[in-house]
Amino acid sequence: EQAPLDLRANTLMIGRDAALAALAEEGILGRPTEHSPFGIRVEGRPSLGNIQAFREGLVEVQDEGSQLLAMLVDARAGMHVLDLCAGAGGKSLALAAMMENRGRISACDIYESKVERARERMRRAGVQNSRCRVITGTSDPWLKRHKWDFDRVLVDAPCSGTGTWRRNPDARWASQGTNLEEITAIQESLLHRGSSMVQPGGRVIYGTCSILMRENEDVIAKF
C-alpha cells in the first residue's frame, strides 16, 4: 500500500481540531490519526508549499510513528532534553510543543545542512527553547562537557532504513550493500554516549526506522 501523508498539529500555535478546520478551508481533507493525539492523516498528495497552514507553521510533516517516538520521551516543561541525532529537527519540534516552549532542547547532528534546515523549521514553528548544534560525532567536546546534564536523551539512531521501504521502495535495492556490522557499531556507540549524558533518574529513548532485530532489540540487549 502507498505510504500515508501525516502531519502534526503544532500545538504551540493551534490545536488539532482547529488545524483540521484550517486545512479544510484550503480544500485539504484529513482525519485524526489513530494513535497520536497531535496527528492528522491527509487524503491524497497536496502540495504543502502552497498551503497557508503549513507556511505559517501551524502543521508540520511527520509520520505518526515518529510522533509516537517523540511522545515516548515524556518531555515536560522545564526539562533539559538532548536530541542526539536530530537530523532536520522533526522530533525536536514535537518535543518543544510538548514542553510548551519551556525548558531546553539541544538538537545535535553531524550534518550542517540538516541542522540549518532544523533552524529554519523551528523559526517557522515559533520554537524558542531549542538550540541546534553541529557536532563531530560521539567524541565531540561539547558532548563530553555536558555529561549527566540532561533529563531525557533521545537517540533516533541512523540505520538501514528498512522501515521506510514502503515510502521509498527503491531503497530496498539501494541498501543491499549496507554493512550492518558498521551500522550497529555506530548505534551502540550512540546509545552508550546517550546514556552518559543523562542525569541519574533520567531516561534514554532509543529508536530506529529499521524493522531488523539486529538494529533494535539486539542493540538494546547488548547495551
Active site (catalytic) residues: 209
Strand ranges (E), 51-210: 59-61, 80-83, 104-109, 130-134, 150-156, 198-207
The answer to whether residues 201 and 152 touch, using CB atoms and an 8 Å cutoff, is no
Nearest to 74, CA basis, from 223, 162, 203, 190: 203
CA distance 223 to 77: 29
CA distance 206 to 69: 9
Nearest to 198, CA basis, from 103, 117, 81, 100: 81
* Degrees, nearest 5: CA angle 216-220-223: 145
CA distance 153 to 34: 26
Residue 45: phi, psi to the nearest 5? -130, 70
The answer to whether residues 82 and 152 touch, using CB atoms and an 8 Å cutoff, is yes
Assign 3 to helix, strand or coil: coil
